[in-house]
Amino acid sequence: MRILSLSLLTLLVVSCFSNMASADCTAPEQPGVRICSPSPNSTVSFIPAIDFNSTPAFGASITNFIIYVNGQKTVEGVTGQTGETVINTDTRNGHQKVTIHAWDTAGNLYSASVSFTVVGDSYPSSCAVPSSPGVNFCEPPAGTILGPSYSVAASAKGNSKISAMRLYVDGKAQATQAEATQLNVVATVGAQGDHKVAFVAWDTEGHVFSKTRTIHSTYTYSYVDCGSPKSNGPCSPGFDTAVSPAPNTYVGSSFTIQNQIQNNPRPITAIKAYIDGKVVATSSGPTMISQVNNAYRHPYYYAASMGHGGHPLQGSI
């Protein structure tokens, strides 16, 4: 079976370092470690899934494994675990190298490594104070793939002490921080397209400093979101969470794509599925059930179009 590596692109605020589930990866026939996902030298969307499995020597069992990301210990297994699917929320944009060590009861050490690139909303959150009076608008980095909400950060230096910093989106204030030289918050732009995002800072002498950027949001929705169980509000629009294939699923070179848009305020006129930028499936309404053939080790994404002059929606899987 050939493997299709799928990744989910969403904007999330995540407090944990990783989540683990049972490995979907088939254990190697010979003693050793097999990494099924991400594929070598692939580009995956944040949050990446690391899926692996291992086989001990004949008559032995796996005693432990450790996952290293860029040389840093990230996850350690427990006795009896041969593999896992690890949703690594601590991985940042850019080049990554994952190395996995596994030991068996016979004293053997097995190792495997994979290098890949992460893109999406997973950039570092530090922002240096400028050396001279002004505003340093640090995040998001140029070229980042963004949705309708994303983290922004700026720092400021005044001729005297900074008294306040404020975030504006398309001319409207969204956040204010008093007596701080750095403001790191989430900007909500509402829809895809270009938006003017500005940071303004004031010092105690009344001087005003600002920096404005035009930032592009590539997609509008990811998955449908109904909020917390106690929330009484309506679910926000998005792709159904019951997507097939599921994120980071391993399938053959031919498979069925099934999904739909839920709660959209305007009628959906079309959904298109893309692999490497090429359309591989289409539908003429809010639901897609389509067969895809001859796919191999590529992420894919959906794009849905609304009627009545609405903007396209996009969500990557």
Question: Ranked by mean pLDDT, which of 44-58, 141-155, 175-189, 294-308 comes out on top?
Answer: 175-189
What's the rounded Cα separation, in Å, for the pair 283 and 226? 25
Residue 162 confidence (pLDDT): 97
Q: What is the pTM of this model?
A: 0.55
pLDDT digits (tens, 9 = 90+) for 211-239: 999 999 877 766 666 655 455 666 777 77
Report which residue type is found at 189.
V
Matching CATH topology for 18-119 and 134-217? yes
pLDDT digits (tens, 9 = 90+) for 77-99: 888 889 888 876 667 778 889 99
Whether residue 112 contacts residue 33, with contact meaning beta carbons closer than 8 Å, is answered with: yes
The confidence band for 259, taking pLDDT boundaries of 50, 70 and 90, is confident
CATH class name, domain 238-316: mainly beta
pLDDT at 14 over 50: no
Long-range contacts of 165-174 (CB under 8 A, 24+ apart): 165/199, 165/200, 165/201, 165/202, 166/199, 166/200, 166/201, 167/197, 167/198, 167/199, 168/196, 168/197, 168/198, 168/199, 168/200, 169/195, 169/196, 169/197, 169/198, 170/195, 170/196, 171/196
Cα 234 to Cα 192, 196, 208, 227, distances in angstroms: 21, 28, 41, 9
List the chain domain ranges: 18-119, 134-217, 238-316
pLDDT digits (tens, 9 = 90+) for 278-297: 788 888 888 888 888 876 55
Pick 5 or 76 by higher pLDDT: 76
Topology given in CATH for the domain delimited by 18-119: Immunoglobulin-like (2.60.40)
Tell me the pLDDT of the chain averaged across its residues: 79
Instruction: Please report where in the chains the tokens 């944990």 appear, as a residue.
Output: 16
Topology given in CATH for the domain delimited by 134-217: Immunoglobulin-like (2.60.40)
Judged by DSSP in three states, 216 sits in strand
Judged by DSSP in three states, 213 sits in strand
- Low-confidence winner among 127-136, 243-252, 264-273 (lowest mean pLDDT): 243-252
